Amino acid sequence: MSILKITGLQKSFGAITAIDGLDLTVEEGEFFALLGPSASGKTTSLRCIAGIEKPDAGQIEFEGSDVVPTPIQGRGMAMVFQAFALYPHLTTEQNLAYPLRERGIEQTEVVRRVAEIAEQLRLGHTLARKPDTLSGGEQQRVAIGRALIGRPKLLLLDEPLTNLDAKLRHDTRAEFKRLHRELGMTILYATPDELEALSMGQRIAILEQGRIRQVGTPDQLYDAPESDLVARRVGSPVINLIRGTAKANATINLPFADISGGNWARTIAGFDVNTEVLLGLRPSQLKLVEGTPGGPNFKATVELLEPLGDVTILDINAAGVEMQMVLPEAKAVGFKVGDSLEIEFDPTTSLLFAADTGTAIS
């Protein structure tokens, strides 16, 4: 059952269009990630859902009824802000209890719930302290605790990890997954970080310029992106998109090789000769030729090496086309800038997009 259904959402601030016709459905109990760069409309979407901003047009159906006219207080959602927004003059305990006041909940119950949340989020030692004496991670957990304590039906998280350092981000990702599993709550999570979205989101919506470009599971987005934009957004290092032209016999002419035999072969056969296309090759799909090449292959020179421990990222140049490839550390040992490599790849897993519209061809 869908708990949240958004249709045709529009929101502008003056001349700037933040959300431009957004449609989205979130299922009950789902961990749903909104992935998009800054200014893509993630935060504005969450703020419209929470009721902080009033949308210019569109419907936000929550549990079956349109909540656009409902004031913030009546929506039964909770939100964690990027800046945490803890009340600076209140202690952890008072911050946690804040949403429970004025709801007619008995004091003993408030105390019990605060203790429960503090225990769950390992905040027991901070209860009497004010936010400015807490570490970034502790402040973060207080913010989450404050959102969870009212037992919201929908939890909105607005880039909650952006203000944490790298190590803490990793731990908190695991924490979010654990909380989601334990509480079974619906979570809508906005992030500019692909890793966060892919590792936590059961489904992900790719947002770009106030519009949703594709919704799907991490695998769907990675294996079958509907546009070059989505392909670029998902996967690290970024996918190589190589400009080429369609030729007769379902062959694609790239600057350094001719390719045929992809999943796209049948479609491309119907194209006009010389149609411009973009071939997508993930950096991990490029392999070094060992023995006889089993597929299309080409020569390239190494331009830059980035050793990352167990893998090495190589910037290579093949006939003027810049690409990136990932090699296991053991295979990249001894390579240096200027070396010439022989590279092959399997055309059946390659992706193809129309050069003008960016739409996937399959």
Partner 1 sequence: MTTLNSNATEQQSPTFGFWVWLMAPERRGALLITPAIVLLFAMNILPLMWSFGLSFFRYRANRLNPPEFLGWDNMFRNYEKVTSSSAIWDSFQTTAIIVAGSVTLQVIIGFLLALMFAREFPFRKILLSMVLTPMMLSFVAVGVFFKFFYEPSFGLLSQAIRVFTGEPYILLGTKWGSIWGIIIADAWMWSPFVMLLVLAGLVSVPKYLYEAADIDRASWFRRFRTITFPYIKSLLLLAVLFRTIETFKLFDLVYIITEGGPGSATETLSVYVYRQGFQYFRTSDASALGYILLFVVIVLTNLYLYVVNRRSEEL
Q: How far is Cα 69 from Cα 51, in angstroms, rounded to an integer? A: 9
User: CA-CA distance, 80 to 86, in Å (whole number)?
Assistant: 10
- Asked if residue 186 lies in contact with residue 29, where contact means CB atoms within 8 angstroms, the answer is yes
Single out the residue of 21, 29, 99, 192 in contact with partner 1 (rule: CB under 8 A): 99
131 binds partner 1 (CB under 8 A): no
| CA-derived radius of gyration, the chain | 25
Question: Least separation, in Å, of the C-beta of 294 and partner 1?
Answer: 57
DSSP annotation string for 316-339: EEETTEEEEEEEEHHHHTT--TT-
Pick the binder of partner 1 from 20, 28, 70, 98 (CB under 8 A): 98
302 binds partner 1 per the rule CB under 8 A: no
90 near partner 1, judged by CB under 8 A: yes
Residue 144 near partner 1 by CB under 8 A:
no
Which residue lies nearer to partner 1 by CB, 83 or 174?
A: 83
User: How far from 140 is each of 47, 122, 168, CA to CA, in Å?
Assistant: 19, 12, 10
* Partner residues linked to 242 by β-bridges: 279
Residue type, 250: A
DSSP characters for 256-286?
A: S-EE--STTHHHHHTSPTT-EEEEEE-GGG-
Q: In angstroms, rounded to a whole number, what is the distance separating the alpha carbons of residues 332 and 315? A: 12
Verify binding: residue 101, partner 1, rule CB under 8 A. Answer: yes
Per CB under 8 A, the list member of 8, 57, 66, 89 interacting with partner 1 is 89
DSSP 60: E
Q: Please report how close the Cβ of residue 64 comes to partner 1 at its closest, in angstroms.
A: 21
CB-nearer residue toward partner 1: 87 or 112: 87
Site string for partner 1, 49-88 (x = CB under 8 A): -xxx-------------------xx---xxx-x-x-x-xx
Binding site for partner 1 (CB under 8 A): 47, 50-52, 72-73, 77-79, 81, 83, 85, 87-90, 94, 98-99, 101-103, 146, 150
